[in-house]
Structure 1
Amino acid sequence: MLELDEQNLDDDNLLLEQIVSGDEFAFNRMYYQTNKNIYNAVMAYVKNEHIAIELVQQVYIRLWNNRQKLKGVKSLKDYLFIIAKNLTLDHFKKVTVEATFFAGLRLKENASENTTDEKIEQLEYDKLLNDAIGQLPPQQKETWLLISEEELSYAEAATKMNISRLTVKRHLELSRKSIREYLKSRIYSG
């Protein structure tokens, strides 16, 4: 048993060296050996196939893009699980921040009694939000409007825009990020 573990470790170390040197074949081999386990680990937390697939893709993209930094890594598989864990945690943080942000927007919209100051603030905020939406690239803007204003599903928006659901999702993520950054820069700068 110990000899088998040592053999696996030697194979992993050789694979790691080849990946560090930019060997795409070695990277592909490592991907096919590990992606199912990484997917299962991520899926256990996110419980959504599309999100799990996206996070797993990000794991391997991050690994490949940072391959020069892998020289000190002792266990490639452990390193992959750490990347997957960190990306999954980042995903949950992002979802929480977005949910809080948009819940706040809905609360502001639903407030029935506003004082004069609140009404003025709401008008200023609405103008900022419209300005933020206006500065988006065309497809991100269209996606935002279809999902947020017309309340279409990703599938409906994808059909209307003649693009994939994943592309709709990506445009929406980018538009939300851009709008958040725009609002933060305007609200907290003064």
Structure 2
Amino acid sequence: MQAKNIISDQELQAKLIAGEESAFAALYDRYSQMITAYIKRFVNSSDLADDLTQEVFIKVWQCKSKLDEVKSIKAYLLIMARNHTLNSLKKAMRFDVAMAEVIGSFVEQRNETEEELLSKEYLNFLNKALSELPYRTREIFRLCRQEGKSYDEVAFAMGISRNAVKNHMVSSMKILSASVKKDLGISLSILLTLFLKS
């Protein structure tokens, strides 16, 4: 442990400016835990803090030629960590806000004609996908998802066990999910929400 600290921060900085990878490794060993702990105060997630720490050190390496202007490498790392973390959080928030606005706008602006066309397209796709399932599986899916019956009610109506109903549903959901994702590029849950909401 002492070997790492024999070289001063100033010497480490000079070697880093010269492009010595061993100096970068030494810097990472010396300060990565401190930077991760600091970032974690902002993001409250160990995995995210680890990722952001890696990104901070990559930026330091990429901008090593500017380090000759830096008086304290430790202070520089902390400032860089704070700025990078805040910028990343702002971007993430902007993305969430933008997505919420797009979805909100889409819901508000849809008219009945578009809604009908979209529903017909999705309904046709769902019916086609369902028609490829075995008859009993298709019937169980229809009763559970389209009529909203419970597994117990379907089991009683069809004279089979609740477990058999569950197995048919798991099978149909897997097949439909793969088909919807492949052909429509959306998740099955989104399709079912659009289809079953009326």
- TM-score scaled by length of structure 2: 0.52
Counterpart CA distance in 2 for 1:72 and 1:109 is 50
- The change in CA–CA distance for 1:62 and 1:151 in structure 2 (over 3 A counts) is farther
SS in 2 for 1:102: helix
- Deviation of 1:115 after TM superposition, in Å, equals 9.3
Counterpart CA distance in 1 for 2:188 and 2:66 is 44
Counterpart CA distance in 2 for 1:75 and 1:68 is 15
- Deviation of 1:47 after TM superposition, in Å, equals 1.1
5 Å-filtered alignment, 1:29-178, equals 29-111=26-108, 114=111, 149-150=186-187
The structure that has the greater radius of gyration is 2
Segments of structure 2 that go 5 or more residues without pairing to the other structure are: 115-180, 190-198
- Deviation of 1:92 after TM superposition, in Å, equals 1.2
Segments of structure 1 that go 5 or more residues without pairing to the other structure are: 1-7, 120-144, 153-190
Counterpart CA distance in 1 for 2:68 and 2:42 is 30
Counterpart CA distance in 1 for 2:79 and 2:100 is 31
Large movers: runs of 4+ above 6 Å: none
SS in 2 for 1:22: coil
| Root-mean-square deviation over aligned CA pairs | 2.9
SS in 1 for 2:8: helix
Count of aligned pairs between the two proteins: 117
- TM-score scaled by length of structure 1: 0.55
Q: Once the two structures are aligned, what percentage of the paired residues are identical?
A: 29
- Deviation of 1:72 after TM superposition, in Å, equals 1.3
